[in-house]
Amino acid sequence: MRATRLLFLSVFVAGLAAAGEQSADSHSIAGNAPKAEAVARKEMVKFVEEAAAYVRQAGKEAALNEFSNPKGKFVRAGGELYIYAYDFNCVCLAHGYTPELVGKDLTGKKDSAGMLVIQKLRDAAKDGKGFVEFGWNDPATGKEGHKLGYVLKVDETTWLGSGIYFK
């Protein structure tokens, strides 16, 4: 089932690229990464940038509500691509896949390797934007999967992110 979802995500993202959509991502993509993964990274960046634009257009409160709506426009690919939002104290403000995290301080959230995941993502956001690799519960398997996250600072109080699972 996970392979089917990952295939769907790859086809979905590749289809967007084939339709002529361009990403404003200026980050380098590993030269040995398969083309579908490179496109997925670019689309993930575009997705987070779209969410940041939505915050500016709709206002923070409305945007956070939309990001936490599992059936909203910021939850895609069968729930495998979603937006999460945090403040710089690592309190979850919105989560498209696990809305019960909203309001929780995740400063101490570690992956199986012992990395403080939310702190690491926050630190990248403090720099404006960035990629972070970490372990997180994979919706397709219910187990921790290896994930690449992209985060973007929205303002002095909030940052957004999304992520894709490695195959």
pLDDT digits (tens, 9 = 90+) for 69-108: 999 999 988 888 899 999 999 999 999 988 899 999 999 9
pLDDT for the residue numbered 72: 93
Distance CA 14, CA 92 (A): 31
Q: Mean pLDDT across the chain, nearest whole number?
A: 82
pLDDT above 90 (res 25): no
Q: What is the pLDDT confidence band of residue 22, given thresholds at 50, 70 and 90?
A: very low
List phi, psi (to 5°) of 96: -70, -25
- pLDDT of 78 reads 80
Which has more pLDDT, 35 or 39? 39
Question: Is the pLDDT reported for residue 2 higher than 50?
Answer: no
Distance separating alpha carbons of residues 85 and 91, to the nearest angstrom: 9
The model's confidence at residue 118, banded by pLDDT at 50, 70 and 90, is very high
Query: Residue 13: enclosing H or E segment and its boundaries?
Result: helix 2-18
pLDDT > 70: what percent of the chain?
78
Of residues 62 and 2, more confidence is placed in 62
Q: In the prediction, which pLDDT does 137 show?
A: 87
Confidence of residue 13 (pLDDT cuts 50, 70, 90): very low
Q: Which residues contact 27 (CB under 8 A, 6 or more apart)?
A: 41, 45, 131
What CATH class does 2-20+32-165 carry?
A: alpha beta
